Amino acid sequence: MAKQKPKKPRQPPTTRPHIPQRPPTEQHDRLRDREQSKPARFSSFDDGSEDAMRRLQRKLAAEEATKAKLAERLSFPRLLTWWASKAIAARKAKAPAGMSPSYPDIKIPKEWPSLHLPAGELEREKGPRLSRTLYWWLYPPGEPVPQKPQPTPLRPPQKYPNMGLDTDRPPAPTLAQKAKRARGWYWIAGIGVYAMSSYGVYLYLQYNKAARIQADNEREYALGLKRRPVVDTHAVYENISEKYDSSVRFSEWCLGMPLLRRWMLWGLQGDVLEVSAGTGRNNPYYNVDSCSSITMVDNSSNMLEIAKNEFERRYPYYGRISFLAQDASKPISSPSGEGFDRVIQTMGLCSQESPVDTLRNLERQCKPEGRILLLEHGRSHYNWLNRILDAYVLDHARNWGCFWNRDIGKLLEESGLVVTSISRFHLGTTWLIEASPRAREMRDETAEPSSVAVPQDCAERKKKEGSEMDSAPLLR
């Protein structure tokens, strides 16, 4: 007889399943370390109980699941596919019935559960911007939308479709209806026209007043009853140097002056002299590499200081530059001692006390084969505009040191320069001039000084500062 094994006594059923002790893993160690680093009263780990073990396992499982979910959601290709499918579905919904847009369906695999989120949830999470960008990338605004083919009309189109025969369309609005709809716009336009015309009338009255005063004054100067008022442009420029650039920048830009400046300075070479350089508004247009030397002259040292700082900031490596604070009508020393190849001036004649003397001096400073380039402003082709310039010249000169009604053509004629080309812009007020010096023997060195009167208090100031100005302080 086979020996029967003694039967094991039956265990009473346990209420909780037995959980065997797990061998420690790296993760286990990590979690334990983390738990143990907490204050003792919060520690829920390794108190030896089964409960603690179960808690730990639940925690591990939850952490793993969160990580997997996050990794899945943040996967960029999946997001892209999801958005593409949404966008295409939206496009399809908008497409005219019976037309299939030329975009393929994008099927989202079932095993990407997080991409089947309720509508709007993913956008909320990741932000709608990318979704919009993608939409516009897929469907650029200018893309033609396929048109639904029109059914052939059963009857020829009506000649007068809104005479009651064509019942498909609503009747065209009457003129009264149109007027009623546009009432808001009429109000806005009306107020605009009223404001503009009021301002026009105001300007016209102001202009008339200024012109009358100017005419009376001119009569009195001619009769010797009154002395011509004097504007010391030197003092004006010393005062406005700080705000000069910011004040003229916008109007110059509107008039396209940067283009004219660039045009004028294009291809400058050799020894270059710029007179009335001001704050260096021409600095950006110099091709310094082709200039053997540059000399900038202005009688306002404040203006010239700004030009100097700007030039050094723009071309820190260029050393053949000098800045002379002196009158442009006085002799100017050139680096070679033989004169300059190119002499330029922009917006200078309007503010000089004796512009003809300056032009004659520029001729003297220029080499015989050199060129004189001027960009100036003055009287216009049109009398109506000249009358406005005349009426406001004093106010403008007091504020900006600029006599804007000078006849540039007449000044050139008086100077005797050989003008090779003149172009005029802005109703003839802007002059772009190219000239050459006359042969030395043709020049009349004893010519009378300019017919533009030197204002009296300027003459007095010059007398006082005479020695200082003539010595031409060299800023660099």
Ligand X SMILES: C[S@@+](CC[C@H](N)C(=O)[O-])C[C@H]1O[C@@H](n2cnc3c(N)ncnc32)[C@H](O)[C@@H]1O
Binding site for ligand X (CB under 6 A): 233, 237, 275-278, 281, 297-300, 303, 327-329, 346-348, 351-353, 402
Residue 232 or 271 having the CB closest to ligand X: 232
DSSP per-residue letters across 390-440? HHHHHHHHHHHS--TT--HHHHHHHHT-EEEEEEEETTTTEEEEEEEPPPG
Of the chain, the end-to-end C-alpha distance in Å amounts to 128
CB of 277 to ligand X, least distance (A): 6
Residue 264 or 388 having the CB closest to ligand X: 264
Residue 233 or 429 having the CB closest to ligand X: 233
CB of 331 to ligand X, least distance (A): 12
CA angle 272, 420, 356 (to 5 degrees): 70
Residue 86 or 342 having the CB closest to ligand X: 342
* C-alpha distances in Å from residue 146, one per residue of 84, 138, 205, 275: 20, 15, 60, 65
* C-alpha distances in Å from residue 322, one per residue of 290, 307, 330, 332, 348: 16, 11, 16, 11, 19
Residue 114 or 232 having the CB closest to ligand X: 232
The three-class DSSP label of residue 364 is: helix
CB of 180 to ligand X, least distance (A): 55
CB of 303 to ligand X, least distance (A): 4
**Residue type for position 11:** Q
CB of 358 to ligand X, least distance (A): 6
Residue 365: how many CB atoms within 10 A of its CB?
A: 23
CB of 402 to ligand X, least distance (A): 5
Residue 84 or 272 having the CB closest to ligand X: 272
Residues forming a β-bridge with 374 = 345, 433
CB of 442 to ligand X, least distance (A): 25
Cα–Cα distance, 211 to 389 (Å, whole number): 9
Residue 348 or 416 having the CB closest to ligand X: 348
**Residue 237, class by beta-carbon neighbours within 10 Å (0-12 exposed, 13-18 middle, 19+ buried)?**
buried
Residue 353 or 363 having the CB closest to ligand X: 353
Q: What is the Cα gyration radius of the chain? A: 43
CB of 439 to ligand X, least distance (A): 26
Tell me which residue of 250, 312, 248, 302 sits closest to 278, measured CA to CA: 302
Residue 126 or 396 having the CB closest to ligand X: 396
Residue 35: how many CB atoms within 10 A of its CB?
A: 16
Tell me which residue of 375, 178, 156, 127 sits closest to 268, measured CA to CA: 375
Here the contacts of 414-421 (C-beta below 8 Å, separation 24 or greater) are 414/356, 414/359, 414/450, 414/451, 415/356, 415/359, 415/360, 415/363, 416/360, 416/363, 416/442, 416/443, 416/444, 416/447, 417/359, 417/362, 417/363, 417/372
Cα–Cα distance, 432 to 265 (Å, whole number): 11
Residue with the CB atom nearest ligand X in the bound state? 278
Residue 15 or 467 having the CB closest to ligand X: 467
CB of 348 to ligand X, least distance (A): 5
CB of 183 to ligand X, least distance (A): 50
CB of 380 to ligand X, least distance (A): 18
Residue 281 or 406 having the CB closest to ligand X: 281
Cα–Cα distance, 295 to 297 (Å, whole number): 7
CB of 240 to ligand X, least distance (A): 9
CB of 76 to ligand X, least distance (A): 55
Residue 114 or 326 having the CB closest to ligand X: 326
Residue 15: CB partners within 8 Å, gap ≥ 6? Answer: none
Cα–Cα distance, 335 to 469 (Å, whole number): 20
Residue 233 or 386 having the CB closest to ligand X: 233
CA atoms within 13 A on the CB side of 100: 4
